[in-house]
Each structure stands twice: as C-alpha cells, then as structure tokens.
Amino acid sequence: MNFKFYARGHPAVSSTHPTTLELTRDTDLGKNGDCIVAAGCSVGLVDLPEPMKNALSSGACRARLTLTVGIHQFVVEGRGAHGLTLSHPSDIVVRKSGFISDRTLMVHADRAAADIPRSFVELLQDPNRKVLVELVTEI
C-alpha cells in the first residue's frame, strides 16, 4: 500500500533526537521538539486509510517512510506492531524502540531524526520548502 501527503519545512527543525522522528500538523514549533523534522502536515495518523492502519497494526507489516525535498530524499524503514492505534490527530512518530502510543506510526525503525544528513536538515529548516512524504506498507 502507498500513501502520499505533504508537509513543510520550519526554522525550528533541529533534527537531533537519536531515537525518534516526528512529523506534525502543527505549524508553530518550539525549540524543544528535537525529533520534529517537518511541520504543517496535511494529515495526522488518524487520517491514514483504514487498509493501511490495519496493515500497520499487524506485527508482520514492514513500513517505509520517505521524505523528499526537491531531488533529495531520506528513507526510514521500520515495522508495524500489534497495539498501534494510529489515532493521533496531528502527530506522526517513527520510533527506533518498540514503544507504542497513539502517536506511533512504526517501531523498530532503522533511523531517527539525528540520522538525517545535515545538508537535508538545512532544507527542512526552510519554511518555503514543501516536503513530500510517502508511506509504503507491505505484509
């Protein structure tokens, strides 16, 4: 399954968190959100298509999230998990750990915010940059 949506860059993006990566619908970010990599998302977890939610709430699901800005891309891969509710209205969080909350999209990810190359982070700090987000799930 494949689902695409958009977000924007933001000057407060620091992308230094070692274990999580977050996208948010919020457009007003503070300095404490070191895992946030894009703002102003057009969707929250609650808006994902039901078939995708069903796949992600399975322990057998593999997931790939790709961020694209212009010709530059960053890809993170992880897994779905039993217990994912995918119900948060504004936040989408990718986790290296197995922690589950209503904000969790995938767990046991291979990368987090701190793994994004600094040159890509500079693009994500530009509020005029549109970020294409693509989520692919496979069972």
DSSP 107: B
In the predicted model, is pLDDT for residue 32 greater than 90? no
Domains of the chain: 2-138 (2.60.120.630)
pLDDT at 31 over 80: no
Q: Is the dihedral of CA 101, 82, 39, 114 positive or negative?
A: positive
The chain-wide mean pLDDT, for the chain, equals: 96
Tokens of 8: 């924007």
Model confidence pLDDT, tens digit, residues 83-111: 999 999 999 999 999 999 999 999 999 99
* Structure confidence at residue 30 (pLDDT): 78
Cβ neighbors of 54 (< 8 A, separation 6 or more) are none
Q: Which residues lie below 8 Å from residue 106, measured CB to CB, with a gap of 6+?
A: 56, 63, 65, 78, 79, 80, 81, 94, 95
Please tell me the distance from the alpha carbon of residue 129 to that of residue 30, in angstroms, as a whole number.
19
